[in-house]
Every structure is written in structure tokens, then in C-alpha cells.
Chains A and B, each alone.
Chain A
């Protein structure tokens, strides 16, 4: 038991408490295991890797058989029980249902193995499987009379599992998210590896290698990490994600030092240099865009996207028209787009209704569907020049659909008879940029902003 702890604690820093309580519960295969343990915590807190290495250590040091599976892969009862039986070397014939599963496990009696450990990752998926899976797993020890323990890993609290008649008792362990100091400690444990990689990269340039060798000190790296976390930590606490991004940005941070333009001790100038790229990197966290050979980090904001979208002139107007059609009700069209629409009488009722729903504007509630006729009518209304209704123009609509800027709601088959309904899938911000490009004020034509 102590050996297991010692082997794991160096591998998983800041997790001593959980390792020791796991070891207390299932560390010794000669003692009775608890029937089930539920381990939960946010993603990236080490649930899966910790449990997996723990079980592997158990298998190495004691006479224990283990099964590790993921409920996403084992999405039906049959696949799951076959996997468990395979891993526990208990399989004689195929098992179709829970009864046969339990019976085959019972056959394991009298063998030399002292314990059985089953770990199931993404356990929240068990709720979507047959109703008897979870209750049976939780009572598997009692049903099979083996020294057996089921470990369930998930991101959810256990209360999300309760069904109508409740479940049997389970021991829950919570893996708390790492706090800032712990995150820093884990990230800086990479230092040796990062340094090694850098030295290898620079090995062909003597001068840079020398600078690199001198500048790369633990202090320098932890300074960098502090700067890095000051930008990233408020938006993301997922350690694997932070680690990945920290490595990516470190090259940019180091670049001026290697050039010789900035001293490696001049933290404030280094900060001025790195602040922009870090902010840009923040926009593409979780996306894991890998571009070979390019160190520059691209800005992935909506503005950039809108500017980079190359649509024909009429295509842009069609998109704007589609947006207006999606977010204005058809009743308002006359008032918005016809020159002499007559006087509108303001009634108290409408004023009140609008005031109440300030937060429920159509731009926040989502697009409504519209017909192609209405789209074209609005298109002609907002476009100053005269264009003929040619097939070129109509093909623009299908281009927009292909680009997923518009989407069919219904009637995809019968476009010709006009019963097809479309909706616009881009957001307000995006359309505002498009409008700016063609010189059209979109806000002016939205009922929400009147």
C-alpha cells in the first residue's frame, strides 16, 4: 500500500490526499473492498490518469485483476459486460444480459486472485443505458460475493444519478480543481523538458544556443508562467489546456531574448512584447490549431472572420437581407422598407409590451424562418441599384447555404414552389461587419434597435 502511494505521488503532484484515501480504501487486496467508489471532479483534474495508474500499480504489486473501460465506448449493456469479462479473464461464453454477466463472475470463485477492480470512465453515460446497469454495478460485490470494487469516474455530482427508488450507498471522492499555486507548480515541473527541447532546436546556431543556455533558468521560466497565468487563469483552469498553450507561447516570449534585442532580466519589456500574442492566444484556446512552422498566433475573432470572408457584392447584400428577414417580423416589413407606409399610431399597449421585453429581443432569441420570396423582396428594397432576377443571383442563395451562412428549416426538396423556409445562422456582430464593408447600416433596419 505504501509502495503504491510512493509510486504515484511523484507522478501526480498536489494529489496526495486523494491518493492516500484511495489507498486506504482499495490499497490492500487482502482486505474487504467497499462495493463502489465514485470519483468526481472537473475535466483535467487527473481523475482518469490517477485511477488508471493506481489500478495498474495494484495489478503489478498484488494479485488483482483490473478492468478499465470508458462508458462512451461501451455504449450498450452487452458491449460493456463483454469488455469487463474479457478484462477480468472471466469469459467462457458470450453474455447477453446482466444475469449471465453476474453468473459468469460468480464462476471466478475459488481462484487465486484476491481482488477485482473495475473502473468506468465517463460514468454519466451509464444513466442513458438500461435502467438496471447502474443498480447492478453498485451492488456487484453483494451479487457476486467476490472481493470486487467498482470505481465510477465522472464530472457530475452523484446526486445527478438518483432514480425513482434510489441507489445503494456509495463512497464519493472529490478531486478539487487545482488552485493557482498548484497550477503553477504543475506547469513549472515541465521546466527540464522545455529546456531540453529548446536546446535541441537551437543546436545549429552557436550564438543563440549560448544565449538560450544562459537565459533558461527556473526563475526565468516561472516568471513567464506568472505572466501567462495572469492572462489565462481567469478564463481557463483546465491544466492540460494551459500546459499546451504555455508551451506554444513560450517560443514567442523567448524570441527577443534570442535575438539579443531584450535582456532576459528585463521583465517589463518582455511583458510588453508578449502581451499581444498572449491575448491573441486566448482567443484560440481549446481549439488546438496546429500550423507547422508558423510561430505567429492568429487572431480568431469574429471581426477577422468577417473580413476574411470573400463574398460577391450581391452575396453580401443577400446575407444582410436574410439576417433582417430572420430577425424582423413580417408585419414590420412594410414600415421598414416601403417609403410611404402611412402614419403609424403608437398605442399604449405596444409601448408597454416592448418595454417589458427588453431582454427578449429577437436577436437574442434566435432567428425565425422566412421564405425565399420575402428574402428577395427585402434584398431589392435595401439595394439601391436595379438588378435583374437572374439565375446568377439565385445561385448566390445556394452558395450561402453551402457556406452554412443560411440553413434550410423545412421544404428543402421543394424550393421551386416557394414553400421552402430558410433561416440565417450568423450572429449580429458578424452582419454588422459585413454591413460596414458594403456601407450599409444594419442596425437601422432592425426592429430591436428602434
Chain B
């Protein structure tokens, strides 16, 4: 039946897009959301100046929260007319000169600032803010959003931050500074004079740790298809996004839009029924619990579901419990053990020799000669590893170094010391080595025995 096939493709495309490109729907964090919204609203309407830091781990939804708040506020005509939004990212605006240029562009003041020479950073910024006042009685308010706030703290003298906070405190022009960061100690990074100008308003976003029910409900929500009515509601909410005309913030350009999709009603019902059945199965519940124990952030879960959805095919139109567990088991495995399993027997022997050296000398550093001596003792009595030349063992040792299973002690001393004598340290735990020895296919028995005890 070709229609059903089309439907599956469509569902896959829909789910993928919603998982990747839905930048504005925030789940939870009601209190924090209204807090930030009120703050921005006051800046827009009353002309209050403010500063705020949004702190939370990666993938907790800090940027999404700001986007959601902006989407809410864009409905409000007064807000749209009255505010300018300036987006800065610590990874892109790596110094204050670039940042200032970008601010000028985003405030659409290139013409005004053109050809003027400014003595200092503060003068320049003051001029920009002054420009906003001109013409109008009431000055336009500016919202500065600083992503990766901690990186701005490394700029020379923290000039940008100092000036922004200074303006926000001295009521020259209504501006609101929103810092977004994942460093908890970010306040400590600020210089004293900068710190004293900051309002010390901080909003913490922490995904809640003990709410597994919500997590599995979220899983269900992300993977099921909403009815067309629900799609319509979310689409209406996003209409206002078009009013956001900023060069630096372009998420509205390819934002997920549910209206483009219409599904066959029977198919949707069927799909949602399958999904709720899937979630109730004990295997999936157990898998979700392990995932939850790994990482509670929504970004992690979304990525997991994305990979799950990507596996949908014409021949296999439904997500099965087996797929869920198989994919989750990929997250459980240790990359380093996988790499160890790809080594040759010789290289694994060297790892074992290093392990013996480390256990005997309490993780002392080692060089090639030490490892080679130990390996040679084993090779002499073994039947499989005999007759391997030193040059090949050295090559194997270098391979271990390339894949960073062993690391040189100092990176600076290269060249002075011959490579046979350069000291290294082991970047593996004994457990990983043990696991690799156990799992290695067709490992000679004597090597496995040697791994157990250093006595030959």
C-alpha cells in the first residue's frame, strides 16, 4: 500500500524536524520562565534597566527558555516597537572589538557610527545608546543576550561587561543584560568593579533529578504525533516570530512548522496507540531508567529519540522495544574498550605489560625500553609471540600513543629525548584492560593468562 509508505516517511520527517528544530517550546521551568519574562517586560514597558544571569548545565534548556520568552513577548506590540534585541555569543565574539562591531550592526547604527572616531570603548557604547534616544522622547530599550557568558569574562579588562553593567546601573538608557552560561562559579570570574555593578540576579535551571515519570511522559510526547488542532495552536504561537528581525539570531528561519504536515487520522491514532503500548512495556521502561540515570537533560533524550526515529523504514514502520534497548546499549559501551578490542595481539600484549608495570610500581611512568623488556620476558617463553622484532614492537608502541591510550608525560620535551626513552603514562583503568582481555576474540590463552598474573 503506497499511502502507508508515504505516511511513514512523512512521520519520520516530521518527528526528526520537530526534535531538531523546535527551538522555542520549553517544558517545565514555569517559575523561571515568568521571572525572565517579567524582567524583559519591565525593561520594555517601564524603561527599567536590569541584569540577570541564567545558569544551568549543558542541554538544560537555557537558550530555549530565552527563545520561548521572546516568542511570548513578540505577541505584544509594545514590546516589538520598543525594544531592540542584541545577540552575542562568546564563541563567536571572541574579543570586544568584534563584539562592539556586531552590536553596532545589530542596532542598525552603522550609518550613524560611520566615520566617527571614539576615544574609548565606553564613549562608543554611550554614543550608540545615545543614538537610540534621538528623535524620540522615550528611548528605545535594548536587550543584550550574551551566550557563553563565561567566555566574555576572559576579554581584556572585561571592558564590554563593565560598560554594559555600568549602563544598566546608572540608568542612562534602559538596557537589560541577560547572561547565559553553564559555569556555576561565573560570578567569581568577574572583576571586582564589574561584580559590584552586576545586579546579582541569578536564575538557575537544573533538570529535576527525581522525576522519572515526567521523563517517560516527555519521551512519549516527543515521539507521538499531535492532532492537527494542536499543531495549529503551536503554529499560531510561532507566527509572531517573523517580527524578530535580527541578523545574529536566525532560528526563526528554519524553525519547525507543524502546519506543513497533515496526517491520515487513522494512521495517527494507530501510531499513538503503538507508542503508548511501547512505553508501557517493561523493557523500554528499564531502558529509559538507565538513560535517565546517565543523563537527565532533555537534549540527551532528544538526541536518543532522533536516532531511534531515524531507524524507521518502509519495511519496519514501527519502533520496537528491541530497537530501543539496542540503541541504549550503544550508549553503555565504553569507547576505549572498543578501541582496545581493535588492537592487534601484539599491541594488547604491550598494554598488558604496561599494566603489570603500573601495578608493581604504583602507576609510575614508563618508557618503551621498560615495556619492551617486560614484553620480551613474556615473548621468550610464549609460543605465539616469539620472533617479533624490536622495530615492530616500537611501531606498535607508537600506535598506542597515536590513539592516546598512553600519553607522553610532557609535551614540551619532544626532540631532546629519544623516543624509546620518553616517559609515558597510561590513560586506561585496569578495569578497562581486564574487560578488553575478556572480550577479545581468539586471544591466545597464554596471553590471557599472562594478563591475570605478572609471574611468567
A residues with a Cβ closer than 8 A to B are: 21, 24-25, 28, 30-35, 40-43, 45, 97-99, 102-103, 106, 109, 124, 130, 132, 135-136, 139, 141-147, 155-160, 165-169, 171-172, 174, 176-177, 179-180, 233-237, 279, 282-283, 285-286, 300-302, 359-360, 363-367, 409, 425, 427, 429
* B16 at the binding interface (Cβ < 8 Å): yes
Q: Which residue of B lies closest to A169 (CB)?
A: B303
Complex interface: chain A residues within 8 A of B57 (CB): 166
Q: Is the interface of A mostly helix, strand, loop or mixed?
A: loop
Give 29 pairs: A residue, B residue, CB < 8 Å, sorted on A. Answer: A25-B310, A30-B13, A31-B13, A45-B342, A99-B102, A103-B247, A132-B91, A135-B91, A139-B91, A145-B254, A157-B336, A157-B338, A160-B404, A165-B150, A165-B183, A167-B58, A168-B59, A168-B299, A169-B302, A171-B307, A234-B385, A236-B392, A282-B388, A302-B389, A359-B360, A366-B367, A366-B418, A366-B420, A366-B421
Beta-carbon contacts of B333-363 to A below 8 Å, as 1s and 0s?
0011011011111100000000001001100
Are the C-beta atoms of A171 and B251 separated by less than 8 Å?
no
Are the C-beta atoms of A279 and B387 separated by less than 8 Å?
yes
Which of B17-25, B74-82, B157-165, B204-212 touches A? B17-25
Are the C-beta atoms of B388 and A302 separated by less than 8 Å?
no
> Within the assembled complex, what's the spacing in Å between the Cα atoms of A429 and B391?
12
Known: A98-B94, A145-B253. A233 touches B344 (CB 8 A): yes
Are the C-beta atoms of A155 and B402 separated by less than 8 Å?
yes
Complex interface: chain B residues within 8 A of A171 (CB): 303, 306-307
A30, A32, A142, A364: the one within 8 Å of B251 (CB): A142
Beta-carbon contacts of B363-381 to A below 8 Å, as 1s and 0s?
0000101100110000000
Are the C-beta atoms of B16 and A176 separated by less than 8 Å?
no
Are the C-beta atoms of A180 and B403 separated by less than 8 Å?
no
Complex interface: chain B residues within 8 A of A365 (CB): 367, 369, 421
Are the C-beta atoms of A363 and B303 separated by less than 8 Å?
no
Complex interface: chain B residues within 8 A of A364 (CB): 367, 369-370, 373, 421
> Within the assembled complex, what's the spacing in Å between the Cα atoms of A166 and B184?
13
**Min C-beta distance of B27 to chain A, whole Å:** 17
User: Which of B17, B20, B387 has the largest number of chain A CB atoms within 10 A?
Assistant: B20
Complex interface: chain A residues within 8 A of B253 (CB): 109, 145
> Within the assembled complex, what's the spacing in Å between the Cα atoms of A179 and B441?
8
**Min C-beta distance of B348 to chain A, whole Å:** 10
Q: Which residue of A lies closest to B249 (CB)?
A: A145
**Min C-beta distance of B92 to chain A, whole Å:** 4
Are the C-beta atoms of B307 and A169 separated by less than 8 Å?
no
Complex interface: chain B residues within 8 A of A143 (CB): 89, 92
Are the C-beta atoms of B341 and A177 separated by less than 8 Å?
yes
Q: Which residue of A lies closest to B295 (CB)?
A: A169
Are the C-beta atoms of B395 and A286 separated by less than 8 Å?
yes
Are the C-beta atoms of B342 and A359 separated by less than 8 Å?
no
B residues with a Cβ closer than 8 A to A are: 12-13, 16-17, 19-21, 23, 57-59, 89-94, 98, 102, 148, 150-151, 182-183, 247, 250-254, 299-300, 302-303, 306-307, 310-311, 335-336, 338-339, 341-346, 357, 360-361, 367, 369-370, 373-374, 384-385, 387-392, 395-396, 402-404, 416-418, 420-421, 441-442
Complex interface: chain B residues within 8 A of A146 (CB): 254
Are the C-beta atoms of A282 and B250 separated by less than 8 Å?
no
Complex interface: chain A residues within 8 A of B59 (CB): 168-169
A139, A157, A233, A429: the one within 8 Å of B335 (CB): A157
Known: A235-B344, A235-B346. A132 touches B92 (CB 8 A): yes
Complex interface: chain B residues within 8 A of A180 (CB): 441-442
**Min C-beta distance of B297 to chain A, whole Å:** 8
> Within the assembled complex, what's the spacing in Å between the Cα atoms of A42 and B396?
13
Complex interface: chain B residues within 8 A of A285 (CB): 392, 395
5 A-B pairs besides A42-B403, A172-B335 with CB distance below 8 A are A43-B402, A97-B98, A165-B182, A179-B441, A283-B392
Q: Which residue of B lies closest to A28 (CB)?
A: B13
> Within the assembled complex, what's the spacing in Å between the Cα atoms of A421 and B20?
63
Are the C-beta atoms of B335 and A34 separated by less than 8 Å?
no
**Min C-beta distance of A46 to chain B, whole Å:** 12
Known: A157-B336, A359-B373. A235 touches B392 (CB 8 A): yes
B20, B148, B361, B389: the one within 8 Å of A282 (CB): B389
**Min C-beta distance of B151 to chain A, whole Å:** 8
Complex interface: chain B residues within 8 A of A155 (CB): 402-403
**Min C-beta distance of A155 to chain B, whole Å:** 5
Are the C-beta atoms of A359 and B418 separated by less than 8 Å?
no
Complex interface: chain B residues within 8 A of A302 (CB): 389-391
Kindly list the 9 A-B residue pairs having the minimum CB-CB distance in the complex, ordered from nearest. Answer: A366-B421, A177-B342, A157-B335, A364-B369, A24-B310, A32-B20, A234-B345, A132-B91, A145-B250
Are the C-beta atoms of A176 and B345 separated by less than 8 Å?
no
**Min C-beta distance of A122 to chain B, whole Å:** 11
**Min C-beta distance of A298 to chain B, whole Å:** 13
Are the C-beta atoms of A429 and B341 separated by less than 8 Å?
no
Are the C-beta atoms of B417 and A169 separated by less than 8 Å?
no
> Within the assembled complex, what's the spacing in Å between the Cα atoms of A169 and B297?
10
B90, B341, B396: the one within 8 Å of A235 (CB): B396
Complex interface: chain A residues within 8 A of B303 (CB): 34, 169, 171
> Within the assembled complex, what's the spacing in Å between the Cα atoms of A174 and B251?
31
Complex interface: chain A residues within 8 A of B16 (CB): 31-32
**Min C-beta distance of A312 to chain B, whole Å:** 25
Are the C-beta atoms of A282 and B392 separated by less than 8 Å?
yes
Q: Which residue of B lies closest to A283 (CB)?
A: B389
> Within the assembled complex, what's the spacing in Å between the Cα atoms of A71 and B206?
36
**Min C-beta distance of A76 to chain B, whole Å:** 14
Complex interface: chain A residues within 8 A of B250 (CB): 106, 109, 144-145
Q: Which residue of A lies closest to B151 (CB)?
A: A132
**Min C-beta distance of A181 to chain B, whole Å:** 10
Complex interface: chain B residues within 8 A of A156 (CB): 403-404
**Min C-beta distance of A8 to chain B, whole Å:** 17
Are the C-beta atoms of A42 and B339 separated by less than 8 Å?
yes
A142, A359, A363: the one within 8 Å of B361 (CB): A359
Are the C-beta atoms of A24 and B311 separated by less than 8 Å?
yes
Q: Which residue of B lies closest to A96 (CB)?
A: B98
**Min C-beta distance of A64 to chain B, whole Å:** 16
**Min C-beta distance of B329 to chain A, whole Å:** 13
> Within the assembled complex, what's the spacing in Å between the Cα atoms of A62 and B145?
37
Known: A32-B21, A366-B417. A25 touches B307 (CB 8 A): yes
> Within the assembled complex, what's the spacing in Å between the Cα atoms of A102 and B345?
46
Q: Which residue of B lies closest to A363 (CB)?
A: B369
> Within the assembled complex, what's the spacing in Å between the Cα atoms of A31 and B17?
7
> Within the assembled complex, what's the spacing in Å between the Cα atoms of A425 and B417?
10
**Min C-beta distance of B421 to chain A, whole Å:** 3
**Min C-beta distance of B199 to chain A, whole Å:** 23
Complex interface: chain A residues within 8 A of B396 (CB): 235
> Within the assembled complex, what's the spacing in Å between the Cα atoms of A25 and B416?
47
Complex interface: chain A residues within 8 A of B252 (CB): 145
Are the C-beta atoms of A236 and B344 separated by less than 8 Å?
yes
**Min C-beta distance of B54 to chain A, whole Å:** 14
Q: Which residue of A lies closest to B20 (CB)?
A: A32
Complex interface: chain B residues within 8 A of A34 (CB): 20, 303, 306
Q: Which residue of B lies closest to A177 (CB)?
A: B342
> Within the assembled complex, what's the spacing in Å between the Cα atoms of A146 and B92?
17
B102, B338, B420, B421: the one within 8 Å of A176 (CB): B338
Q: Which residue of A lies closest to B101 (CB)?
A: A99
**Min C-beta distance of A6 to chain B, whole Å:** 14
Complex interface: chain B residues within 8 A of A233 (CB): 344-345
B299, B357, B390, B421: the one within 8 Å of A429 (CB): B390
User: Which of A31, A106, A166 has the largest number of chain B CB atoms within 10 A?
Assistant: A31
User: Which of B91, B151, B395, B404 has the largest number of chain A CB atoms within 10 A?
Assistant: B91
Q: Which residue of A lies closest to B422 (CB)?
A: A366
> Within the assembled complex, what's the spacing in Å between the Cα atoms of A158 and B336?
10
User: Which of B357, B385, B403 has the largest number of chain A CB atoms within 10 A?
Assistant: B403
Known: A31-B16, A42-B339, A234-B344. A98 touches B299 (CB 8 A): no
**Min C-beta distance of B422 to chain A, whole Å:** 8
Q: Which residue of B lies closest to A237 (CB)?
A: B344
